[in-house]
């Protein structure tokens, strides 16, 4: 997400890098590269499959690196698709979605003509003079569609985690398990792959991990079909044993295709990354620090001294990212649930006086309040954020927050609400102004 565009995601904590989170709690003994040996020594708990044929009696340890089946769904040219649904006359034409001076995304017709995501409007027009541009600064329709997709996916499994507006991870391990149990002993021959297999790897129906992933590919196909039939959207899916691998593999064939990763091809997938900055979970700051240690490729990270890495980055981050470099990612798919905060923001680029800035602030507040009222839950905190321009890639943010007095919360949805929120805002505006965040 480029900071110059309008930020599309209110659920993320601002400027926190992913790698700062500590979420790796797995016993390292239980981990092994997904493509590495599949040890059955790991956790005591094991899931026993129906004991019909030899393959049925294979036991997959519940905590082993390959145990889970995770689908990553990424919609194609998301904002552009939403625009084409709203304006069917744009279908088939090269279309770009503009925020400020950037084309934040474009449809695949435009991509064929050389337009790329995050190109400046000027460059895009130069590449493709017939490009049709629509303004994408109002995120309302994208946000609404985004939640519809997540809700639809929740019908397949309750364990759905949103990532941005157009990506979702779904843990379908339980669903796969159920389908496996429903199969008759001689039915494995009917388990076929849907979509591509990464590396064109041949599939072994005598390997229970392969069978599980193939069933995963069938469920992923059903998900994509439902998204298309019910919402009119196409997207890509990746099926693998963890979040990292499913995300990496989902982009292999685009648009409107899906790919499953068999464990044996894990190292090839990881090795296909040109630079560690392409590794999901390694953010901007960590990339810079790794580069200063001479680590540029995934292979560099794999062979780097763990002790030095731990000293430089702290034990938790060092261990986590070194595992990522081997394709290991034990982070759970964490159900997102309803958003924990709503935010509205603007770059204020068009404002050149205080009066204009105030007007913009009022617009932002009105939008925010409208969304809060629609949601129905009572917010408890309001936060104002200001981002000052900096020549660095990152903008510095400062924020102040305060609880919303309970008498104001009670009034929400009544006539006085505007006035009350306006007052809370005014008290802090002089110091901070510009951007608001409203935390539940």
Report the partner that residue 14 touches, choosing among ligand TTP, Mg ion, none (CB closer than 5 to 8 A by kind). none
Which one of 34, 65, 70, 104 is in contact with ligand TTP (CB under 6 A)? 104
* Closer to ligand TTP by Cβ: residue 66 or 105: 105
DSSP letter (8 states) at residue 354 = H
Tokens 């935390």, residue located: 439
Residue placing its CB nearer to Mg ion in the complex, 126 or 144: 144
CB 271 within 8 A of CB 280: no
Of 14, 19, 167, 264, the catalytic one is: 167
User: What whole-number distance in Å separates Cα of residue 339 and Cα of residue 361?
Assistant: 22
CB atoms within 10 A of CB 192: 10
83 binding Mg ion? (CB under 5 A): no
74 binds Mg ion (CB under 5 A): yes
Q: Which is nearer to Mg ion, 75 or 231 (CB)?
A: 75
- Give 128's strand partners: none
CB of 327 to ligand TTP, least distance (A): 22
The verdict on whether 22 is a catalytic residue reads: no
Taking the least distance from each CB to ligand TTP, the nearer of 2 and 222 is 2
Nearer to ligand TTP, 60 or 279 (CB): 279
- Residue 265 has, within 13 A of its CA and on its CB side, a CA count of 22
Considering the complex, what minimum distance in angstroms separates the CB of residue 81 from Mg ion?
Answer: 9
Cα 203 to Cα 184: distance, rounded to the nearest angstrom: 20
Q: Near Mg ion by CB under 5 A, which window of 21-29, 67-75, 86-94, 356-364?
A: 67-75
Task: Find the binder of Mg ion among 10, 14, 19, 166 (CB under 5 A).
Answer: 166
Here's the x/- map for ligand TTP, 55-84, by CB under 6 A: it reads as -------------------xxxxxx-----
Question: Per rule CB under 6 A, is residue 165 in the interface with ligand TTP?
Answer: yes
Residues 302-321 contacting Mg ion, CB under 5 A? none
Q: Which two tokens stand for residue 172?
A: 């379908």
> Which of 100, 117, 125, 439: binder of ligand TTP (CB under 6 A)?
117
Q: Which partner, Mg ion, ligand TTP, none, binds residue 223 by CB below 5 to 8 Å per kind?
A: none
**Rounded distance, CA 340 to CA 345, Å?**
17
Residue 79 binds which entry of Mg ion, ligand TTP, none, with Cβ cut-offs from 5 to 8 Å by kind?
Answer: ligand TTP
341 contacts: CB under 8 Å, gap ≥ 6: 10, 11, 437, 438, 439, 440
Contact 35, 201 (CB under 8 A): no
Which residues are registered as beta bridge partners of 388?
396
Judged by CB, which is closer to ligand TTP: 104, or 317? Answer: 104
- For the sheet containing 396-403, what is the strand order? 341-344, 435-439, 381-388, 396-403
d(CA 57, CA 47): 10
- Range list of H helices, 69-172: 78-86, 108-112, 121-127, 140-154
Residues making contact with ligand TTP (CB under 6 A)? 1-2, 5, 8, 74-79, 104-105, 117-118, 165-166, 254-255
Query: Which amino acids are annotated catalytic?
Result: 167
């Amino acid at each position: 997400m480029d900071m110059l565009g309008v930020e599309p995601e209110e659920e993320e904590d601002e400027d926190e890098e992913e790698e700062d989170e500590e979420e790796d709690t797995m016993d390292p003994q239980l981990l092994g590269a997904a493509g590495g040996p599949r040890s059955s020594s790991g956790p005591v708990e094991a899931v026993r499959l129906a004991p019909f044929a030899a393959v049925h009696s294979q036991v997959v340890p519940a905590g082993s690196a390959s145990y889970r089946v995770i689908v990553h769904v990424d919609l194609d040219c998301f904002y552009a698709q939403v625009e084409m649904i709203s304006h069917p006359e744009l279908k088939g034409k090269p279309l770009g979605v503009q925020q400020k001076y950037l084309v934040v995304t474009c449809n695949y017709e435009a991509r064929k003509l050389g337009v790329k995501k995050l190109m400046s409007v000027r460059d895009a027009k130069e590449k493709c003079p017939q490009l049709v541009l629509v303004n994408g600064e109002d995120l309302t329709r994208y946000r609404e569609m985004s939640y519809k997709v997540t809700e639809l996916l929740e019908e397949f499994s309750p364990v759905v985690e949103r990532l941005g507006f157009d990506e979702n991870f779904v843990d379908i391990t339980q669903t796969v398990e159920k389908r496996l149990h429903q199969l008759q002993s001689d039915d494995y021959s009917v388990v076929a792959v849907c979509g591509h297999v990464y590396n064109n790897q041949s599939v072994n129906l005598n390997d229970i991990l392969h069978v599980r992933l193939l069933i995963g590919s069938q469920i992923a196909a059903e998900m994509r079909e439902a998204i298309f039939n019910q919402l009119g959207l196409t997207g890509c899916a990746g099926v693998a044993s963890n979040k990292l691998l499913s995300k990496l593999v989902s982009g292999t064939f685009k648009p409107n295709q899906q790919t499953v990763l068999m464990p044996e091809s894990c190292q090839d997938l990881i090795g296909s990354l040109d630079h560690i900055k392409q590794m999901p979970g390694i953010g901007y700051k960590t990339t810079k620090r790794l580069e200063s240690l001479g680590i540029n490729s995934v292979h560099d990270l794999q062979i780097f001294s763990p002790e030095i890495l731990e000293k430089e980055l702290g034990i938790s981050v060092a261990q986590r990212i070194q595992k990522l470099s081997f394709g290991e990612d034990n982070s759970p798919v964490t159900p997102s649930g309803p958003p924990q905060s709503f935010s509205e923001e603007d770059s204020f680029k068009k404002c050149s006086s205080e009066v204009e800035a105030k007007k913009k602030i009022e617009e932002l507040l009105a939008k925010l309040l409208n969304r809060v009222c629609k949601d129905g839950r009572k917010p408890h905190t309001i936060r104002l954020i200001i981002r000052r321009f900096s020549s660095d890639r990152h903008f510095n943010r400062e924020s102040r927050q305060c609880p919303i007095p309970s008498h104001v919360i009670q009034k929400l949805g009544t006539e006085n609400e505007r006035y009350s929120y306006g007052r809370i805002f005014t008290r802090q505006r002089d110091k901070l102004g510009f951007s608001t965040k409203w935390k539940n």
